Structure 1
Amino acid sequence: MTQTIPAPAAAPIRRRRRGRTLTRRDKLVAALMLGIPLLLDLALIWVPALGSIFLSFTKWTGVGGIKLQSCADFPTAPGIPQPGCLYGVQNYKQAFTNYPDFWPAVQHNAIWLGVFIVIATPLGMLFAVILDRGIRGTRIYQSLLFLPVMLSLALIGIIWELIYSPNLGLINTLVHHNQNDNVIDWLGNPHLNLWALLVEASWRQAPYVMILYLAGLKAVDPSLREAAIVDGATGWQTFWRVIFPAMRPINIVVLVVTVIESLRAFDLVYITSGGNPLRGLELLSVAVTQNIVGETQRIGFGSTLGVILLVISLVPISIFLWQAFRREEKV
């Protein structure tokens, strides 16, 4: 008896899917969606940045024409230029040698950064670890802790100015210093005002770091914790030897954000000082504003300080981008 072998089924015919042809309307929408943000970015970021770099080599006061510096603008004696003078860089030389607020501002920015790294960042990490354990009322605690980030820096400055007020402030009232002549001027004393402002800034910075670390903790593979527990690791060992190294991308982001926030600190100081320079509160961002919009109106010199601040800010950003590209190459 002959067995009939069934013929193989015909392979399905694959049809090539043609890409959708963009209509004129689609091209117009795409051009608007890409062009408008690009124009805003150029107009609000790149043009002012390049303009500041150009103005940093000038002696412009905001009135009259703009001219580049010459050695004759900074003579050692009438009609005698400075020896070794380089054309157009005298603003930078003046910033590093003859501007009395420059190095105190650099020192205070370094202190600001140190407090953020030593106090605000570990405090935010601690909040994130506690909230990540899923304790009762986590959502409520997270909202309350995140509240300072939602407030503007101007409002935070006003709130803490009321707390630090010499006569009616909360702190002086609690310690009864407002009832005698021994009143503590937290914001007027040059030995105290910087540390008082750092309390304000840390109060806002810690919740911001907390949110970043909460996102990092949620992204950690749960199997890593389970494997650490099986191996007998304690909670402390699990965090520092397993979880914390796994959050390396978040650690880099937190470091970059911390450096940038410490360098661009301005609002709290400006509100506290009322726009006037106070001893003990010299910062680079404040020095830029005082020279550009202050009474002296040295826009060229203020732009020089802004360029120096920009260069310092680019260092952590460059490190972040280098680490990110390096990680992608390894993957």
Structure 2
Amino acid sequence: MTSRDVITLSVLLGVAVFLDVALIWGPTLASVLLSFTSWDGLSPIKPIGTRNYHAIFETYPLFWPAARHNLLWLAFLGLVATPLGLLLAVLLDKQIRFTRFYQSALFLPVVLSLAIVGFISQLVFSRDYGALNSVLGRGAHPVDWLGDPHLNIWVMMVAASWRHVGYVMILYLAGLKAVDQSLKESAAIDGANEVQTFFRVTFPTLRPVNIIVLVITVIEALRAFDIVYVVNSGRNGLELLSVLVFDNIVGEASRIGFGSALAVILFVICLGFIVVYLSRILRQEDQ
């Protein structure tokens, strides 16, 4: 490379690395360090060791319900929304009539932010003016879909899945296009039916896509925030770890050290799922 090429490459790479460190790893490291302190953003930072973590696990009443909701969110996206997205991708890959229209319609929610999905959910599930109660004929005795703490978490997961399904569908559609058709033809010649061909031939070739979908599903489940915050500020049955982080750092409490400890716990949970799965996949590939 010429000197000009080296300078250009160094500048472009340097800017990317700087932004990555400044916007991602810098704040991450700062959160880890602040999690061992007591700080309200104004007074001097006071080191307190692991007291924030002890308080979270032992005396903070909102932590365990929020953790359960996040795990439930992850299970719902992983066991309901993701398989549904895969099913739609398989159906659309058959080039049925109006395939392009169905793809566009199902992908449309993906371009919406979760905050917008939350506002749409209020129009559908609201107790007083929601469309669902009108369709079900419950105008006289409406169901409080968003106010009942036994129902609202399920309603919000359905709303989030509306967006997640379209994203998963597009990823699997791209993966299905890359599957060698000769493999399917060979399986058909050997007497395999359509279901057997999918699970024994097609699905194993989608392993790279499966890894991407898993990582996206874990991140989407654990970072969920805006969709519940626009409904009722993440309270009354909609507590999530991300909401607790926001309330403690940005809210009236201004417990930045405590909120940073919550953020570190959320980061470790997210990283744990991904690392365990990826290490398992890499071990299988080495064998």
Aligned 8 A contact 1:91 1:304 in 2: yes
Q: After superposition, where does 1:60-75 map in structure 2 within 5 Å?
A: 60-69=39-48
Aligned partner of 2:85 in structure 1 is 124
Taking the aligned partners of 1:42 and 1:118, their CA distance within structure 2 comes to 35
* TM value normalised by structure 1: 0.83
Q: Would the alpha carbon gap of residues 54 and 279 (structure 1) be closer, same or farther in structure 2, given more than 3 Å must change?
A: same
Taking the aligned partners of 2:225 and 2:42, their CA distance within structure 1 comes to 26
Asked if residue 27 in structure 1 is aligned to residue 6 in structure 2, the reply is yes
Q: After superposition, where does 1:24-103 map in structure 2 within 5 Å?
A: 25-69=4-48, 88-103=49-64
Taking the aligned partners of 2:274 and 2:215, their CA distance within structure 1 comes to 6
Aligned 8 A contact 1:253 1:320 in 2: no
Asked if residue 319 in structure 1 is aligned to residue 280 in structure 2, the reply is no
- Higher-Rg member (1/2): 1
Asked if residue 210 in structure 1 is aligned to residue 202 in structure 2, the reply is no
Quick one: higher RCO (CA 8 Å, sep 6+), 1 or 2?
2
Q: Would the alpha carbon gap of residues 130 and 322 (structure 1) be closer, same or farther in structure 2, given more than 3 Å must change?
A: same
CA positional deviation for 1:321: 4.3
Aligned partner of 2:103 in structure 1 is 142
Larger relative helix fraction = 2
Aligned partner of 2:239 in structure 1 is 282
Aligned 8 A contact 1:220 1:243 in 2: yes
CA positional deviation for 1:29: 1.4
Q: Deviations over 1:280-323 (max 9, x none)?
A: 11111111111111111111110000000000111133235435
Aligned partner of 2:125 in structure 1 is 164
- Show structure 1 runs of 5+ residues with no match: 1-20, 70-87
Aligned 8 A contact 2:86 2:169 in 1: yes
Asked if residue 108 in structure 1 is aligned to residue 69 in structure 2, the reply is yes
Aligned 8 A contact 2:218 2:274 in 1: no
CA positional deviation for 1:30: 1.1
How large is the RMSD of aligned CA atoms in angstroms? 1.6
Taking the aligned partners of 2:213 and 2:285, their CA distance within structure 1 comes to 19
SS at match of 1:237: helix
CA positional deviation for 1:247: 1.4
Taking the aligned partners of 2:78 and 2:268, their CA distance within structure 1 comes to 21
- Show structure 2 runs of 5+ residues with no match: none
Q: Aligned letter for 2:131?
A: L
Aligned partner of 1:73 in structure 2 is none
Aligned 8 A contact 2:211 2:278 in 1: no
Aligned 8 A contact 1:256 1:320 in 2: no
SS at match of 2:74: helix
* TM value normalised by structure 2: 0.95
SS at match of 1:128: helix
CA positional deviation for 1:240: 1.1
Aligned 8 A contact 2:65 2:239 in 1: yes
Identical positions, percent: 55
Aligned partner of 2:250 in structure 1 is 293
Aligned 8 A contact 2:114 2:227 in 1: yes
Q: Deviations over 1:89-117 (max 9, x none)?
A: 01111111101011101111111111112
Aligned partner of 1:18 in structure 2 is none
Q: Would the alpha carbon gap of residues 114 and 270 (structure 1) be closer, same or farther in structure 2, given more than 3 Å must change?
A: same
